[in-house]
Amino acid sequence: MTDLTVKLPGMTLTNPVMPASGCFGFGREYSAFYDLNQLGAVIMKAATGNARFGNDTPRVAETASGMLNAIGLQNPGVQRIITEEVPYLAGYDVPIIANVAGSTIAEYEKVAEAFNHTSSVNALELNISCPNVKEGGIQFGADPDMAASVTEKVKAVSGLPVYVKLSPNTADIVTIARSVEQAGADGLSMINTLTGMQMQLSRQRPLLANETGGLSGPAIKPVAIRMIYAVKKHVSLPIIGMGGICTAEDVLEFLLAGASAVAVGTANFTNPYVCPEIIKQLPRVLERYGFDSAAEAIGRGHDE
């Protein structure tokens, strides 16, 4: 039997596969397709201090091997997430990771602090990499000092392990990763979407109402692998890897590059059963490439 268990700060996962933030809501919709207990964990949709409506529509566009989105962090606000959504997910036996967003450091602190008051959330994913909001988001993720500062402040108010979600929209992701490691991050989550744009020929204008959007899906997988590989060489924090994962083979690529667990986003849209299907395939794929456990494959792509 191939052992899929992985240990991460704040949680032990029965397998390393979880749905990515923003691509799975708060779990209710996909629970109509399958039992969420099969998942390694669930990362919830971003939470902000107050409810947000998000951007105008259209909010999504399709691209070659992927998509652009500019949802704009629509969510009911952290309080309602805690009272209405967390209890639903807590009915399942899977670790819950809360994605924390904000326009100011104070808002990040407020949201992070609010999650101290529920016993069901295992960890925070600090979203300093959302490219689709005018204030906050990526602004904190593109600069090493800002990234460190928000990490430090959130660590100071939160009782939970903090995974900082990094943006690929930066010249030097290794510097950012090192900087948040020094600031006390417990883990990294990477990558968020790459900023892009699509022109609509019929209107001769950008298709998305927000004009720019975040590119996700198979198109960005090589970028994610490259960045995880680079960060793993210089940082000792565990990494939750994501970006274009569609198959169990993709998961193994991420583990080899240095991820300890993975998140699947866009692929849920193409195939609502993609997470349980990958989990089912994973033991066979690990075995085929000579691994007795998922943990054994982590970072093995770096071996001399």
Partner 1 sequence: MKKRTEMTVETVQEVALDTIEMKLNHPYISTAAQPGQFLHVLAEGHTLRRPISIASIDREYGTITILFKVMGSGTKNLAAMKPGMEVNVVGPSGNGFTVQETPARTALLVGGGIGVPPLYGLAEELQRKGIGVKSILGFQSRAHVFYKEKFERIGTTYMVTDDGTLGHHGLVTDILDKAGRFDHYYSCGPIPMLKAVREQLRGHPGFLSLEERMGCGTGACLACVVRAETESGYQKICTDGPVFDADEVIL
Ligand X SMILES: Cc1cc2nc3c(=O)[nH]c(=O)nc-3n(C[C@H](O)[C@H](O)[C@H](O)COP(=O)(O)O)c2cc1C
Residue 23 in contact with partner 1, rule: CB under 8 A? yes
User: Binding mask 205-244 vs partner 1 (x if CB under 8 A, - otherwise)?
Assistant: ------------xx--------------------------
256 to 14, 220, 293: CA distances (angstroms): 19, 17, 12
CA separation for the pair 69, 63 (Å, rounded): 10
In terms of CB distance, is 10 or 265 closer to ligand X?
265
In terms of CB distance, is 104 or 271 closer to partner 1?
271
**Distance of closest approach, residue 292 Cβ to ligand X, in angstroms:** 27
Interstrand relation of 194-197 and 212-216 (parallel, antiparallel or unpaired) = antiparallel
Element (H, E) at 107: helix 105-114
* C-beta separation of 52 from 202 below 8 A: no
**Distance of closest approach, residue 64 Cβ to partner 1, in angstroms:** 9
- Candidate segments 68-76, 90-98, 104-112, 156-164, binder of ligand X by CB under 6 A: 68-76
Q: Which of 81, 94, 220, 239 binds ligand X (CB under 6 A)?
A: 220
CA separation for the pair 117, 162 (Å, rounded): 16
CA separation for the pair 65, 51 (Å, rounded): 32
- For this structure, is 130 an active site residue? yes
User: Binding mask 23-62 vs ligand X (x if CB under 6 A, - otherwise)?
Assistant: x---------------------xx----------------
Q: Which residues, 6+ apart, have CB-to-CB distance to 48 below 8 Å?
A: 73, 75, 77, 78, 101, 102, 103, 107, 111
**Distance of closest approach, residue 272 Cβ to ligand X, in angstroms:** 14
The binding site for partner 1 (CB under 8 A) comprises: 22-25, 28-30, 32-33, 45, 51, 53-54, 57-63, 65-67, 69, 71, 74, 76, 217-218, 266, 268-273
Residues recognised as catalytic: 130
